[in-house]
Amino acid sequence: MAKAEQSVLERSAETIPEMMQAAVYHGVNDIRLETVPVPEIGPGEILLRVHTCGICGTDLKKIATGSHSAPRIFGHETSGVVAAVGGNVKKIRPGDRLMVFHHIPCGKCYYCRHKTFAQCETYKKVGCTAGFEPAGGGFAEYVRVMDWIVEQGTVRIPDGVSYEQACFVEPVNTCWKGIEALRLQPDETVLVIGQGPIGIILAVLAQRTGAKVITSDLYPARLTISRRFGLGNVIDASSTDVTREVRKQTEGRGADVVILAVGGNGLIRPAMDATRPGGRVLLFAQTARGEATIDPAAVCVDEKTLLGSYSASVELQEHSARFVMDREMDLAGLISHRFPLASSVEALNLAAHPQPDSMKIVIQPGSSWEGCRA
């Protein structure tokens, strides 16, 4: 161990245990709360003590489908405090409050040069782990953050901004990337299908462009929450034909843009039906591979464009961080349920089976900290 690294780790060693709790994935719908070693860090790396980690739909799909090898520790919407730093880490110190991205691209490859960062091989490498194969690690007490993430993928949390608010930087970035891909115009009408937390963030960002935004959801309770975020034009999909109502509001044309913020492929065809000829459809939640039914003539004859957007963009990192840290949106207000790490299996089960009153669900290994909302 390098001398500089050793001195830093020694200063923090008395506060860092050898073992910790973590929610460990063992296969299809098999998550177990276990005691595992606290990950060791090397030169250029940091150890983050997790305060809050949001549960993301992509992790839920990995758990439900068994798409990844086991064991792993998922969780990537992570905020916390630096517990220790390795040698050669110059700009981060123990005690710093951070959120961390788990993917950062190389910036040099073919895909990076074409700004398709999520397809970069370096980007696909996960740079945060609580042990086992790197998978984010936020569903644990401590996370090892690797050197390339330390250099480019950490965001400081300003004083007065909560860990809960800060954990939304990564999901906001992903939503912003999708909105940017649509190139919205102020006179356009946008339908956002699904008003879970991601759907609400997408709708708020779309509305910021000046576009007219319509939201829909099967749960009236979620539309009530949408209204609290300034999204007043809502359609209760449990009692109203969404396509018919959208056409009624657009002189019979359909929406210029439809954003599908609901997982599953069954709504792709209805989303395209609600789109005007020449309009665009953004698939945002279709992260599980499979087959779907579409009308090919809607793409060819009606000239509708089907778009996809996945994961975050490094080019939007500063913008998304500023949006979150300046509290342009009360993102912590989207949190409906907070679970300690000891109840992480229950938290993941609720997130996988959302209820009318459930929105963003977070796991908080640091929920017992004094002043945990600060």
Continuous segment of H or E residues that includes residue 10: helix 3-13
The mean pLDDT values, 10 residues at a time, for the chain of 374 residues are: 43 74 97 98 97 96 94 98 95 96 96 96 97 97 98 97 98 98 97 97 98 97 96 98 98 98 93 98 90 94 97 96 98 97 97 94 82 46
Supply the pLDDT for residue 13. 44
CB atoms within 10 A of CB 70: 15
What 8-state DSSP symbol labels residue 56? Answer: P
Q: Rounded distance, CA 162 to CA 335, Å?
A: 13
pTM, two decimals, is: 0.94
What domains are there in the chain, each with its CATH number?
3-161+327-363 (3.90.180.10), 180-308 (3.40.50.720)
What pLDDT does residue 311 have?
Answer: 95
Pairing of strands 77-85, 46-54: antiparallel
Residue type, 30: D
List, for residues 122-181, the tens digit of each pLDDT value. 999 999 999 999 999 999 999 999 999 999 999 999 999 999 999 999 999 999 999 999
Percentage helix, strand, coil, to 5, in the chain?
Answer: 35, 25, 40
Which pair of structure tokens corresponds to residue 212? 């007219």
Report the C-alpha gap between 285 and 111 in whole angstroms.
22
Smallest CA-to-CA distance from 256 within 241, 246, 270, 242 is with 246
77 touches 167 (CB < 8 A): yes
Report pLDDT for 369: 62
In this structure, what DSSP letter does residue 339 have?
E
Q: What is the dihedral of CA 19, 21, 24, 29, to 10 degrees?
A: 160
Alpha carbons 79 and 156: distance in angstroms, whole number: 10
DSSP characters for 175-218?
HHHHHHHHT--TT-EEEEE--SHHHHHHHHHHHHTT-EEEEEES
Tokens of 357: 């009153």
Q: Is the distance from CB of 328 to CB of 166 less than 8 angstroms?
A: no
Give the pLDDT confidence of 89-138 residue by residue, as tens digits: 999 999 999 999 999 999 999 999 999 999 999 999 999 999 999 999 99
Q: Which residues contact 219 (CB under 8 A, 6 or more apart)?
A: 195, 238, 356
Q: pLDDT at position 2, please?
A: 42
| Coil/strand/helix, residue 86 | coil
- What is the C-alpha to C-alpha distance for residues 223 and 229, in angstroms, rounded to an integer? 10
At residue 298, the pLDDT reads: 96
